[in-house]
Amino acid sequence: MIGKWKLTEVLVDPGNGKGIFNRVASDKTLEFFSNGTVVSNGNLCVMDTAAGQQTGGTYSLKEKTIRPDNCQLEGTDLIIHFRLENDALVLQYSCMEPCFEKYVRIQK
């Protein structure tokens, strides 16, 4: 986990369960540190491919979660679930239908 990851694909299901990952042209990155913090050059509070707004938070390998700073969803702190899938890091956001961001490691 520790290192820098770049956003390469997103999946937003249209509501029929047939959503697929689509490649994106994005400069958004996540960087995980050994002290349990994560920093992004994009907004962690929403699923978004844009870079430019630095945000951060904490992560738990045990719980497989990221907790962005100062993000709430319906009055509770936002929690992003993640999994490692082959050589990719997949983040699952809280959406009505399944929605995911897929990252590849670019720096250890």
pLDDT at 73: 65
Of 81, 100, 105, the residue nearest 31 (C-alpha)? 105
In terms of phi and psi (left: phi > 0; alpha: psi -120 to 50; beta: otherwise), the region of 74 is: left
* pTM, rounded to two decimals: 0.89
- pLDDT at position 12: 84
| pLDDT recorded at residue 94 | 82
Query: Could you tell me the sign of the dihedral formed by the alpha carbons of 104, 22, 99, 7, in that order?
Result: positive
| Dist. CA 56–CA 59, nearest whole Å | 10
pLDDT tens sequence for the chain (108 residues): 899 999 999 998 877 877 889 999 999 999 999 999 999 999 998 889 999 889 999 999 999 999 999 887 667 788 999 999 988 999 998 877 788 999 999 987
| Alpha-carbon gap, residue 52 to 62, rounded angstroms | 30
Specify the fold of 3-107: Lipocalin (2.40.128)
Which sequence spans correspond to the domains of the chain?
A: 3-107
